[in-house]
A and B are shown apart, each in its own frame.
Chain A
Amino acid sequence: MTVSALRRVRYRYAGSSKWALDGIDLEIGAGEVVGVCGANDAGKSTLCLVAAGLAPGAIGGKLEGSVLIDGTESRELAPYDVAQRCGILFQNAATQLSGTTTTVWEEVAFGPRNLGLDVETIVERVGWAMHLARVEHLAERQPDRLSGGQAQLVALASVLALRPTMLILDEPTSQLDPAGTRLVGETLAGLARDTGTALLIVEHKTDLLDGLCRRVLVVDQGRIVLDGPAAEVLEDRRLEGWGVDAPSRVRLAGAIRRRGLDPDVVLANGAGR
């Protein structure tokens, strides 16, 4: 079942004559975990906004083609309808918290309350989302006193509490240290495994995509230039030309190969020691 479909999508921001997305065709199935990489200004964040129904709905601009979210054209959905079908998480955790709550629990409840759900359902959803995002122990903490990784996980729980069938993550670890990145990565892996939520993850850190995604896209100048199984895409020799660093395992294997050695043998021996 397809949860998100973009067909011949072109999008340009208000006041710009340049197409930020120029002919995107993309389908994402239920439970699929798809990585997106590309250079800065390639159109990755714009792809996130369009796929999440926020562009042009919330920020204006001109959209051509068709964007279907859970089978419904995004233009026909109000932003709060979209929020229940497709969640989005941005780079900066601090700007995603409402800033009007004093505990993490209330922060996660912000979305379900907006939907007008009754208290019992809110409590159930908040518990579920906090469990999935592994932030139950932070329930009584103040949202503005969290570390970067913790804040990003609270933002994730806040979006999950709306029970979307798909989640879009725009560089969720860009402001995190290695420990925070690992924490978010493990949480996302658990989320995909346990709930079957489809994930579209934009990341510069290809190591994270390598461990998390089955499918990876490369975006360049507003177009998808490569789309395939993660193992193949992340080993493609053209990545560097598109401004993407290959994962460390691929770079290491390349370095070993350049010395005339067989990476499989060398790495197997290294692991053996």
Chain B
Amino acid sequence: MIALSTAALAFVLRGWLAPILALIVVGATVARAGLGRAFLPFVLATLPLLISIVLIDVFLYPGATDTIMVIGPLRATGTGLTIAGQASLRIVAFALSVAVFALTTPTDDLLADLERRGMGRRATFIIGAAIQTIPRLAARAGEVADSQRARGLNTEGSVWRRVRGVVPLVGPMISGALSEVEERTLALEARAFSAPARRALLRPMPDDAAQRAGRWLLGLATIVLIVATISGHLALP
């Protein structure tokens, strides 16, 4: 809920205050969860985007005339700098909101909680399996690539050669994944997956009244802020 609220605030609202508010909440969550260093890769991942935004907005913002610096043929403008600062803050706040979710929510805890909240076992399983599919497909791609290389396929060198090298990997990857599906389905049936009973929860989630109230309050405040701002009842700086 925290990640969702801060991401919504950063994504939807313009100006300085919303992304700063989101960053304050994210910062407090990070400090509470002790995740300081784990955040660095997420911040670094936003750098290329931030640099391009700053360059484009500061030097090429359309209609801005309040020049603050001239570098050769390029003129930096105050309006562009303001826009670039706000956009950068929003992007950092959004990226770190996603990071809060990714770093504080293990897949199995997420699935257990979804099931606790009444989501059916099939839906839960599909979400879990989908999350696991990416590393599994990556591992399979590695195996297929190794076996194709062992049979003389050259996948190194120029971009064109690498692109051509991908083609022979696709067929075995897809056919392998499809043939696995039947065996997985049978294995699930053999483990009573289709039984109608409600499953016992093995992971009680720490979730006291204060946490629940905090989450609801944050969610509600986010909705109120967004609605009030969009409808023109509130003007955030």
Binding site for B on A (CB under 8 A): 49, 52, 54, 57-59, 78-80, 83-84, 87-88, 90, 92, 95-96, 98-102, 106, 109-111, 113-119, 122, 155, 158-159, 162
Closest CB of chain A to B6's CB: distance in Å?
Answer: 27
Q: B192 to A115, Cβ gap below 8 A?
A: yes
* Chain B, Cβ-Cβ closest to A109: B202
Given contacts A99-B129, A122-B202, contact A49 B186 (CB under 8 A): yes
- Among B147-155, B157-165, B193-201, the one that faces the other chain is B193-201
8 closest A-B pairs by CB: A116-B197, A100-B128, A80-B195, A80-B192, A111-B191, A114-B192, A96-B187, A83-B192
Q: A159 to B200, Cβ gap below 8 A?
A: no
Given contacts A79-B194, A100-B132, contact A113 B187 (CB under 8 A): no
**Chain A residues positioned under 8 Å from B125 (CB to CB):** 98, 100
Q: A95 to B184, Cβ gap below 8 A?
A: yes
A-B pair count, CB < 8 Å, reads: 101
Given contacts A90-B187, A102-B106, A162-B191, contact A113 B182 (CB under 8 A): no
Closest CB of chain A to B130's CB: distance in Å?
Answer: 10
**Chain B residues positioned under 8 Å from A52 (CB to CB):** 190
Q: Does B169 contact A (CB under 8 A)?
A: no
Closest CB of chain B to A122's CB: distance in Å?
Answer: 6
**Chain B residues positioned under 8 Å from A111 (CB to CB):** 191-192
A87 to B187, CA, bound (A): 10
**Chain A residues positioned under 8 Å from B193 (CB to CB):** 80, 114
Q: B187 to A95, Cβ gap below 8 A?
A: yes
A251 to B52, CA, bound (A): 73
Closest CB of chain A to B192's CB: distance in Å?
Answer: 4
Q: Does B136 contact A (CB under 8 A)?
A: yes
Closest CB of chain A to B114's CB: distance in Å?
Answer: 11
A208 to B21, CA, bound (A): 67
**Chain A residues positioned under 8 Å from B146 (CB to CB):** none
**Chain B residues positioned under 8 Å from A84 (CB to CB):** 192
Q: A99 to B132, Cβ gap below 8 A?
A: yes
A87 to B190, CA, bound (A): 6
A99 to B136, CA, bound (A): 10
* Chain A, Cβ-Cβ closest to B185: A58
A54 to B191, CA, bound (A): 12
The answer, among B186, B191, B195, for a CB contact under 8 Å with A59, is B186
Q: Does B138 contact A (CB under 8 A)?
A: no
**Chain A residues positioned under 8 Å from B199 (CB to CB):** 113-114, 116
**Chain A residues positioned under 8 Å from B207 (CB to CB):** none
Q: A90 to B186, Cβ gap below 8 A?
A: yes
Interchain residue pairs with CB less than 8 A apart (29):
A58-B185, A80-B189, A83-B195, A87-B190, A90-B186, A90-B187, A92-B180, A96-B183, A96-B184, A96-B187, A96-B190, A98-B188, A100-B108, A100-B124, A100-B128, A100-B129, A102-B106, A102-B108, A111-B191, A114-B193, A114-B197, A115-B192, A116-B199, A116-B200, A122-B200, A158-B191, A159-B191, A162-B191, A162-B192
Q: B186 to A54, Cβ gap below 8 A?
A: yes
Q: B129 to A54, Cβ gap below 8 A?
A: no
Q: B189 to A54, Cβ gap below 8 A?
A: yes
Q: Does B116 contact A (CB under 8 A)?
A: no
The answer, among A54, A78, A92, A117, for a CB contact under 8 Å with B190, is A54
Query: Which residue among A59, A78, A99, A119 has the maximum number of chain B CB atoms within 10 Å of its CB?
Result: A99
Closest CB of chain B to A52's CB: distance in Å?
Answer: 7
Q: B192 to A99, Cβ gap below 8 A?
A: no
Q: Does B111 contact A (CB under 8 A)?
A: yes
**Chain B residues positioned under 8 Å from A54 (CB to CB):** 186, 189-190
**Chain A residues positioned under 8 Å from B121 (CB to CB):** 114
Q: A116 to B198, Cβ gap below 8 A?
A: yes
Q: B108 to A101, Cβ gap below 8 A?
A: yes
A114 to B198, CA, bound (A): 7
The answer, among B190, B196, B200, for a CB contact under 8 Å with A119, is B200
The answer, among A58, A102, A110, A118, for a CB contact under 8 Å with B189, is A58
Q: A100 to B200, Cβ gap below 8 A?
A: no
**Chain A residues positioned under 8 Å from B198 (CB to CB):** 116
**Chain A residues positioned under 8 Å from B202 (CB to CB):** 106, 109, 113, 119, 122
A96 to B193, CA, bound (A): 12
**Chain B residues positioned under 8 Å from A114 (CB to CB):** 121, 191-193, 195, 197, 199
* Chain B, Cβ-Cβ closest to A107: B191
